[in-house]
Structure 1
Amino acid sequence: MVSDNTRNEIEQYLGQVPSWMRALAEPASDHSWGVVRDLEFGDTELTQREKELVGLGAATAMNCPYCIHFHTEGAKMEDVTEEELREATNVAANVQYFSSILHGAEVDYEEFVDETTEIVDHIETQRTAVGDD
């Protein structure tokens, strides 16, 4: 269970201490809240909207109904549209799909890195050429 100070802070942020916070073991509870507070709710390089879309993508790839629900609701609070939600879950599914292919086929990682560098260079060249018109 979280300390009294952390409990009060969570209640200020969330209006309650959710059951999932009460499920944390004592040594990890205060620290775990700090990570959620600072990374997911704090002022960071990503906007809250971006964080919710990343969270939704990760939750989709992990097939976690809890996290999918949490980040879908968070995304809606950030005015993410239904179409954007669908797209985010489709991108996550696509990444998971190709990750399975790459791992299953045991694609050589170094070759993959080299090819990705070449692809990025090609796309940047194409973008520069379009910008010159």
Structure 2
Amino acid sequence: MVSTETESEIEAYLGQVPSWIAALPEPAADHSWGIVRDLELEETKLTQREKALVALGAAAAIQCPYCTHFHTEETKLEGVTDAERDEAVAVAGNVRLFSSVLHGASVDHDEFVSETGDIVEHIKEQQATAHGDD
């Protein structure tokens, strides 16, 4: 259970203390809320819109109905369109698919890192050429 002070803070942020807060073990409850508050609700390097899309993609990829519902609603608050939500979920699904392929095929990690470096360099060269054409 969170402390009385944290409970008041949660209510100020969310309008209520959600029932799932009670599921947090006491030694980590206040700290857990602090992470949510500081990382997800406060101003960071990512906009609230970007964080909502990342969270929705992650929630969909781990197939959590609670998180998917919450972060879908969060994206709506941030003005994300249905098409943008669908794309974020598809990108997350694509990452999950290829992660399964890479792990299942036991692709050599060092070779993968090397190939990725080559690909990045190729793309940088293409971008430089495209910018030089302007």
TM range (shorter): over 0.9
Alpha-carbon RMSD: 0.5
Q: For each residue in 1:72-117, what CA deviation from the matched residue of structure 2 results, as whole angstroms up to 9, or x when unmatched?
A: 1111111000000000000000000000000000000000000000
Q: Which runs of 5+ in 2 are unaligned?
A: none
The 5 Å alignment of 1:71-82 reads 71-82=71-82
Instruction: Give 4+ residue runs of structure 1 displaced > 6 Å after superposition.
Output: none
1:14 aligns with 2:43: no
The code of the aligned residue for 1:61 comes to: A
Q: How many residues align?
A: 133
Q: Following TM superposition, by how much is the alpha carbon of 1:45 offset from its aligned partner in structure 2, in angstroms?
A: 0.4
Query: TM-score scaled by structure 1?
Result: 0.98
| Structure 1 equivalent of residue 70 of structure 2 | 70
Distance 2:57 2:19 in 1: 23
Tell me which residue corresponds to 2:87.
87
Which runs of 5 or more structure 1 residues have no equivalent in the other structure? Answer: none
Structure 1 Cα separation of the partners of residues 73 and 31 of structure 2: 24
Distance in 1 (alpha carbons) for counterparts of 2:56 and 2:131: 33
Name the residue aligned to 2:51: 51
Return the letter of the residue paired with 1:56.
Answer: L
Distance in 2, Cα, partners of 1:128 & 1:76 = 37
TM-score (norm 2): 0.98
Instruction: Note the C-alpha offset of 1:20.
Output: 1.0
